[in-house]
């Protein structure tokens, strides 16, 4: 089953890392805050977790059904 991601708008510092790493799954909104494209479900599990871990603001949460995945 694929995972889905959510970006915490208040935590995102607009580094652009997720957008650069996975432009098919993350994009900037008009305020240059990242958001997912369709929950970033186009990424496989390992890739999505890697992108989330690389967020310098820890602003990307990853969910399996309704449960948040521990990214540590
Ligand atoms: S990597 Fe994190 S801080 Fe950078 S744009 Fe994406 S969500 Fe925002």
Joined together, the tokens standing for residue 23 give 């432009």
Joined together, the tokens standing for residue 48 give 């999505």
Nearest CA residue ID for atom 4, ligand 1: 15
Give Cα separations from 70 to 4, 33, 38, 57 (angstroms). Answer: 13, 23, 21, 15
Please, which residues have CB within 8 angstroms of residue 64's CB and are 6 or more apart in sequence?
1, 3
Q: How far apart are the first and last CA of the chain?
A: 21
Is the CB of 34 within 6 Å of ligand 1?
A: yes
pLDDT in tens, 33-58: 999 999 999 999 999 999 999 999 99
How far, in Å, is the centroid of ligand 1 from the Cα of 2?
A: 21
Given a cut of 70, whether residue 8 has pLDDT beyond it is yes
pLDDT in tens, 62-72: 999 879 999 98
Is the CB of 20 within 6 Å of ligand 1?
A: no
Q: Which residue has the tokens 């432009």?
A: 23
Average pLDDT over residues 16-42: 97
């Amino acid at each position: 089953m694929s995972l889905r991601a959510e970006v915490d708008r208040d935590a995102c510092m607009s580094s652009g890392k997720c957008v650069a790493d996975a432009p098919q799954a993350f994009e900037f909104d008009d305020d240059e805050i990242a958001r997912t494209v369709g929950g970033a479900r186009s990424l496989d599990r390992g890739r999505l977790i890697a992108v989330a871990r690389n967020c310098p603001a820890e602003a990307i949460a990853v969910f399996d059904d309704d449960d948040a995945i521990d990214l540590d």
